[in-house]
Amino acid sequence: MPAAPIYLDHAATTPVRAEVLQAMLPYFGASFGNASSTHRWGREARAALEEARERIARCLGARAEEIVFTSGGTESDNLAILGAWRAHRTPERKAIVTTPIEHKAVLGAVHQAVREGGTERNVPVDAHGVVDVAAFEALMTPDVALCTVMWVNNEIGTIQPIERIAPMAKGAGALFHTDAVQAFGKVSIDASRVPFDILTISGHKIGAPKGIGAAYVRRGTNIEPLFHGGAQDRGRRPGTENVAMAVGFARACELATEERDDDCSRVERLRDRLEEALLGRIPDAVVHGRGAKRAPHILNISVPGVDSESMLMALDLAGVACSSGSACQSGSVTPSHVLTAIGVKPDLASSAVRMSLGCLTTDDCVARVADLFPALIDKARRLSGVG
């Protein structure tokens, strides 16, 4: 019997948890009402939606009215950045401060703001992908409208010092947004303690379905909607609300919050075990971000002389799902913008493989990958004449 496949791509998406699916089922059946309707079916849907909003808010140390439901991380980031920048900009205050290692959803929204007359300023990061705090503070000039820095990097797992830099932005009169898609369930997030204005999360990273996310928008923070039409979500996100998904997302948020400490300890132990095993078997391998504080679930490793796309295909054929530190654009493979920004040379960046651990990862998975990955590296090097 062939060995069971191994899923090491939890940073890309996670399976829907049974508890989440169970919570959603009634809203695909008898409780099908539109939350904007005033009859009994609509009132029932509205009650479930607002309860979901309240439950997510509790997980973030927030108020229910500060939670805006979206379709996921990309929409949340665009609403946060474009919505807040458009509402807050003035002729004298229109700059956006960000980093070169943000998710493409953030960078794309920033670039759109630039097309609309904004200016972009990048905070340098060190070789491990950590923001230069002194450089960030120096950029907090009176013309800055918005700062956006992700809490946990999706490629290398580096944790940014959000608690330190968010107050700097506030002191300069700028809004502060953080993409917490990879952070939620991995680090403690408390809106009552850290003064971010907007924070974005996504359901499918924590056991909810794809297609649901949220933006936390601190009370008193104005944002312009991306869409226009109805008055749902206080006009911040018009459109018929997806009640079933909101309910499932709320349950996933609660589970992620309740289980965070134990789950992070388990995953970090497995990640560290896998990392040490691979570095022991492949002496010239490089783990990106290793010198910084990292979220527990991400291991990004490069092996000189081995192409990541070839390795991903070999791993897939061997029953192991991972992802690449490279992006395929127009038929050509280009190095990851994150790895390039932290100073990784193109040939090494093009060999990066991201292994992200989670609910499906076991000790047996780690042991098998620790044996399989070096063997595939050896084979790839023999075929290419390297090593």
> What positions carry a catalytic annotation?
328
Residue 307 to residues 128, 329, 353, Cα–Cα distance (Å): 22, 16, 9
Is residue 295 within 8 Å of residue 182, measured between CB atoms? yes
Provide the CB-side half-sphere exposure for 114 (13 A, CA).
13
Q: Which residues pair with 190 in a beta bridge?
A: none
In whole angstroms, what is the distance from residue 49 CA to residue 46 CA?
Answer: 5
Burial of 192 (0-12, 13-18, 19+ CB in 10 A): exposed
Burial of 59 (0-12, 13-18, 19+ CB in 10 A): buried
3-state SS class at 210: coil
Q: Which residues pair with 67 in a beta bridge?
A: 216
Residue length, the chain?
387
List CB contacts of 229: < 8 A, sequence separation 6 or more: 238, 239
Please give the backbone phi and psi of residue 70, each rounded to the nearest 5 degrees, phi first.
-135, -175
In whole angstroms, what is the distance from residue 191 CA to residue 187 CA?
Answer: 13
Q: Which residues pair with 120 in a beta bridge?
A: 96
